Structure 1
Amino acid sequence: MSVLAIRDLAIRLPRGADRAYAVDGISFDLAAGEILCVVGESGSGKSMAANAIMGLLPDLVRVERGTATFEGRDLLALPERAKQAIRGDRIAMIFQEPMTALNPLMRIGEQIAEVFEAHGKLSPRERRERAVALAAEVGLPDPAAIVHSYPFQLSGGQRQRAMIAMALALEPSILIADEPTTALDVTTQAQILDLIRNLQHRHGMAVMFITHDFGVVAEIATRVIVMRHGEIVEEGERETVLNAPQHDYTKRLLAAVPSDVVPTAGAVRDTPMLEVQHLRKTYTTGGGLFAKPRVTHAVDDVSFAIAKGEVLGLVGESGSGKSTVGRCLVRLVEPDGGSVTIDGEEITSLDAAGLRRARRRAQMVFQDPYASLNPRTKIARAIAQGPIAAGTPRREAMADARRLLETVGLDASAADRYPHEFSGGQRQRIGIARALAMRPELIIADEAVSALDVSIQAQVLELLRDLKDRFGLSILFITHDLRVAAQLCDRIAVMQKGRLVEIGKVADVFLNPQDDYTKRLLAAVPGATWTGALESA
């Protein structure tokens, strides 16, 4: 039985956008007790459709036509007060980034209880008790204590669980989950997917689950809708869409999913480019008159090497210390001990001038290129800043920036535009171009593809592979996804709680893992059984 019926929904974008409609005449039903996955790349319109249902469209974006019928009423035609009464009570939403959706100044328990207050339900004491009960239901540790914590004191997975608790507070009929696991590591992602599936079954909700990850679809979906450029191009049962797709776009998305097939390792020279010995980094927080400080061993006696021309994947969950290792290598974070040697030069003891010279040989590509690019600086200038600071004449550096944009697959005309004018994948290519501008021999790519759609992710991986071969680069590829690492890397090193627990050739680690933690990481990859079956078919 349908609990939500969308008919001919069209959402118009403001003048000057890249197309007239974010969503162009889509129709679908959401049935009671099902999990409907809405799949598509960034810009496909899937999140905009969900925001229209919730009455949360951005300013200047409007519904031009269509209906969204729920419990006999058209949600799109309701006055704002009526929408507020339904929102959170009958239809609830989990957002992609809980850190921006949660109030940083309110404790978690207060934010859960606020849902009841906003709808005039329960007494203050009952709200507090219900907040603790909901925290327990979504699997937050020590619920009675954690409700007194602020969002910044929780991990990413715990913040997402808190968001789910808020969404479930009033036992809605419909739960809309907008990319709720995209930024999470694979083990936390698996836990959240399992939680949503169990809660959906327990409460009998209809779930609209928005994602760009077909592994997630294979794990959780009952039925699937595939969107492209604001239109639905395919719809069907999960097994049909995954194993017998009809539309070319669906086939391309599926082809871009990282597989269980381990590529043949490329040629690697024996000469070391990077040698890390007994690296350590410890953080101390808190403490006071009556409290002991909290000591975290972010990097705990880590040693490894990368040969010239080799790609080493450094994998692990959030908080494993892998990104801290990457930052220690170029001293964006100062290590507490150990040595880092780049092409024979030990850098941990260099003075400021020596460090600037050494950093020309080792450059970073960051996870969020938009955050690492100055929004007020044009792209050519952003790429040329490093070489200019190192003494390259401005005219030469700017000309080289344009050539580098073409090297990473962008038009030279991009040089005169600003970061906000590019997609996420394009900004990541710009980040790679900026790193290449210094003519490095070593690139440290820190979660460089984790936030990208699968098709864009595949393109960036192919670009990195091509650049490695063309320029003879060595790469430290930091990621939480073993399957993605297997598509690019020659060897894989696995980190857990600051320590290196396993290192070896991709085929050995991927097909015959030795450490229990590595086995758990591999088992947690969403859709592992489906992609394995797809490859053998």
Structure 2
Amino acid sequence: MSAPLLSLRGVSVRLPKGADREFALQDVDLDVAAGEILCVVGESGSGKSLTATAILGLLPAPRVTLAGGSITFEGEDLASLSPARLRAIRGKRIGMIFQEPMTALNPLMPVGRQVAEVLEEHARDLTAAMVDARVQLLLEEVGIPDPPGAARAYPHELSGGQRQRAMIAMALAMEPKLLIADEPTTALDVTTQARILALIKEIQSRRGTGVLFITHDFGVVAEIADRVVVMQQGRIVETGPAQQVLRAPVHPYTRALVGAVPPLTPPARAPTPQGPAVLVVEGLRKTYRTGGLFGRRRVVAAVQGVSFTLHKGETLGIVGESGSGKSTVARTLVKLLPADGGSIRLNGTEVREATRTAFRPMTRHIQMVFQDPFASLNPRRRAGDLIAQGPRIHGASRAEARATAERMLALVGLDPSAAGRFPHEFSGGQRQRIGLARALALEPAVLVADEPVSALDVSVQAQVLRLLAELKQRLSLSLVFITHDLRVAAQVCDRILVMHRGEVVEQGETAAIFAAPGHPYTRALLASVPGRGWVPPAVAAE
């Protein structure tokens, strides 16, 4: 049997004093063979990404350091190499795809120039013409439309999927033997995600590349993995062939993770009487106009004639790719964006044309939960103050608002003593709960949730979704639930509205649409869900 391409033995990484544990990684052993895709899964803080940075020699020293073990790649111990030797290997023999291309790419440099830099650093015998030709070929190979135009574009001028493909082009520029992909599809739509996964599989198969794929999405694991490593708090708790781990997990932690994955089949729902309409939207329109005298003028019709009705106690899901208009609809509902036309009636009152002053009392009845709770929470204010802000604006005394904040924290499953802590002192799931508490403090009739669980681990996602279901039942909430995760939509939405390029192409009962989608775009979305043929074992056993 040939030696593995990459081998980690007894790798430990020490955290600085004062951390929640001594070691971020402890006694990690794993192998990646040439031509194999090894998926590393686990929750945030499990050590997945730190494993990748340890392999590449990119640990944030001196605070975080390698405390022991060996990292062998093609016979060389990477942990003992000089910085110069490591730089020669990174990019040439080991490629890296980072999770967030917008932060990994240089915003001040055209994309083609960034790909060219890799070639110029590691293949110095190439002429300028040869480098340019190779850049065009790489961009074409990863499926970016109009490679010459993309090469001239800056990162912000490309879509999320195109930026991720540009990152892949950089990682593949020198045809590395090992590709490390750190959550490369987490924030992507299902159709873009499907194309990226197919591209990685095709490259791995054609070039015999070993792939270390880091993810918390078990649908992705089911789609591409040959083997799986499960990590918990810096340790490997289970490893084995993908089908074995996915269908018959052994460790309790693995079973809990797999059991938290929402199935793609909507649950049976007892028919409920349709309550009164609380939100009626008719012919909603929003157009973005950018550019001016010194730049290209662009006109984008983000929302075109969208109409729907939300009933009391109902969850209406809005699904579609990035750029379909989902979030624009959400922001116009709460007047964070002005709509250009149409009607928005909240409990019978027209809100689209209401002035800012006139709309303020209406905010008691409609609130929003944002996708990124860390960005939407003021980092300089304590959790209790953030939650109390709404009641204070609407006339509550300081004591009343404080009592409401503590009651809301308890309602969303947090200790009221957390009111004195700042946002950075909470985990991602806890911050999302604070966002929920802030939105619920005014006891709204309608909650607009914009991708509220897209960035969360499956176990935390399951907790937040259960909480939303409980609150909806207890408070008779009506939800507008925006998501690109069709597994989540299947479980939480009573009805689905499918958007494509600003228009509604299909809407109806969730179970009916998932069973027999009528529009080609809806069928394409459902066909693109990773691991769609895999049913989590906890569900299969029921």
- TM-score normalized by structure 1? 0.98
What amino acid does structure 2 have at the position aligned with 1:369? P
Q: Does 2:513 match 1:509? A: yes
The residue aligned with 2:97 is 94
- 1:526 is paired with a residue of what secondary structure? coil
Q: Is the 1:268–1:308 Cα contact (8 Å) retained in structure 2? A: no
The residue aligned with 1:223 is 227
The residue aligned with 1:282 is 287
Which of 30, 33, 38 is residue 31 of structure 1 equivalent to?
A: 33
The residue aligned with 2:422 is 418
> What is the Cα deviation at residue 293 of structure 1?
3.0
The residue aligned with 1:304 is 308
Which of 435, 445, 457 is residue 453 of structure 1 equivalent to?
A: 457
Q: Is the 2:373–2:432 Cα contact (8 Å) retained in structure 1? A: yes
What are the superposed Cα offsets for residues 98-140 of structure 1, whole Å, 9 maximum, x if unpaired? 0000000100100000112223522222222211110011011
What are the superposed Cα offsets for residues 56-102 of structure 1, whole Å, 9 maximum, x if unpaired? 11241111011101122211111211111111111111000000000
Within a 5 Å distance, the mapping from 1:305-454 to structure 2 comes to: 305-454=309-458
Distance in 1 (CA, whole Å) between partners of 2:256 and 2:75 is 38
- 1:487 is paired with a residue of what secondary structure? helix
The residue aligned with 2:48 is 46
Residues 482-491 or 424-433, more deviating:
482-491
Within a 5 Å distance, the mapping from 1:111-150 to structure 2 comes to: 111-119=114-122, 121=124, 122-150=126-154
- 1:234 is paired with a residue of what secondary structure? strand
Residues 117-126 or 509-518, more deviating:
117-126
Distance in 1 (CA, whole Å) between partners of 2:392 and 2:404 is 11
What amino acid does structure 1 have at the position aligned with 2:337? V
Residues 270-279 or 480-489, more deviating:
480-489
The residue aligned with 1:65 is 68
What amino acid does structure 2 have at the position aligned with 1:283? Y
The residue aligned with 1:240 is 244
Q: Is the 1:260–1:535 Cα contact (8 Å) retained in structure 2? A: no
The Cα RMSD (Å) is 1.4
- 1:147 is paired with a residue of what secondary structure? helix
Distance in 1 (CA, whole Å) between partners of 2:327 and 2:291 is 22
Distance in 2 (CA, whole Å) between partners of 1:531 and 1:515 is 25
Distance in 2 (CA, whole Å) between partners of 1:268 and 1:336 is 34
Structure 1: tracts of 5 or more residues without a match: none
What amino acid does structure 2 have at the position aligned with 1:65? G
The residue aligned with 2:480 is 476
> What is the Cα deviation at residue 146 of structure 1?
1.3
Distance in 1 (CA, whole Å) between partners of 2:315 and 2:388 is 26
What amino acid does structure 1 have at the position aligned with 2:285? R
What are the superposed Cα offsets for residues 235-258 of structure 1, whole Å, 9 maximum, x if unpaired? 001111111111111111111111
- 1:484 is paired with a residue of what secondary structure? helix
> What is the Cα deviation at residue 423 of structure 1?
1.0
Distance in 1 (CA, whole Å) between partners of 2:317 and 2:508 is 10
Within a 5 Å distance, the mapping from 1:181-200 to structure 2 comes to: 181-200=185-204
Residues 165-174 or 347-356, more deviating:
347-356
Distance in 2 (CA, whole Å) between partners of 1:418 and 1:83 is 39
Distance in 1 (CA, whole Å) between partners of 2:265 and 2:132 is 50
Distance in 1 (CA, whole Å) between partners of 2:380 and 2:453 is 24
Q: Is the 2:57–2:79 Cα contact (8 Å) retained in structure 1? A: yes
Q: Is the 2:372–2:452 Cα contact (8 Å) retained in structure 1? A: yes
Residues 371-380 or 156-165, more deviating:
371-380
- 2:533 is paired with a residue of what secondary structure? helix
Distance in 2 (CA, whole Å) between partners of 1:509 and 1:132 is 41
Q: Is the 2:264–2:486 Cα contact (8 Å) retained in structure 1? A: no
The residue aligned with 2:267 is 263
The residue aligned with 1:105 is 108
Distance in 2 (CA, whole Å) between partners of 1:141 and 1:13 is 44
Number of residue pairs aligned between Structure 1 and Structure 2: 536
The residue aligned with 1:16 is 18
What amino acid does structure 1 have at the position aligned with 2:103? T
- 1:456 is paired with a residue of what secondary structure? helix
What amino acid does structure 2 have at the position aligned with 1:30? V
Cα 1:292–1:86 change in 2 (3 A) is closer
Q: Is the 2:265–2:514 Cα contact (8 Å) retained in structure 1? A: no
Q: Is the 2:10–2:29 Cα contact (8 Å) retained in structure 1? A: yes
> What is the Cα deviation at residue 203 of structure 1?
1.5
Cα 1:533–1:392 change in 2 (3 A) is closer
The residue aligned with 1:75 is 78
The share of aligned pairs that are identical, in percent, is: 58
Structure 2: tracts of 5 or more residues without a match: none
- 1:531 is paired with a residue of what secondary structure? coil
- 2:318 is paired with a residue of what secondary structure? strand
Distance in 1 (CA, whole Å) between partners of 2:122 and 2:379 is 40
Q: Is the 2:38–2:226 Cα contact (8 Å) retained in structure 1? A: yes
> What is the Cα deviation at residue 13 of structure 1?
1.0
Q: Is the 1:243–1:534 Cα contact (8 Å) retained in structure 2? A: no
Q: Is the 1:446–1:478 Cα contact (8 Å) retained in structure 2? A: yes
The residue aligned with 2:525 is 521
Distance in 2 (CA, whole Å) between partners of 1:29 and 1:37 is 11
Distance in 1 (CA, whole Å) between partners of 2:210 and 2:474 is 50
What are the superposed Cα offsets for residues 327-352 of structure 1, whole Å, 9 maximum, x if unpaired? 00111000000010111111012122
What amino acid does structure 1 have at the position aligned with 2:276? T
Q: Is the 1:226–1:235 Cα contact (8 Å) retained in structure 2? A: yes
> What is the Cα deviation at residue 486 of structure 1?
1.4
Distance in 2 (CA, whole Å) between partners of 1:396 and 1:536 is 48
The residue aligned with 2:504 is 500
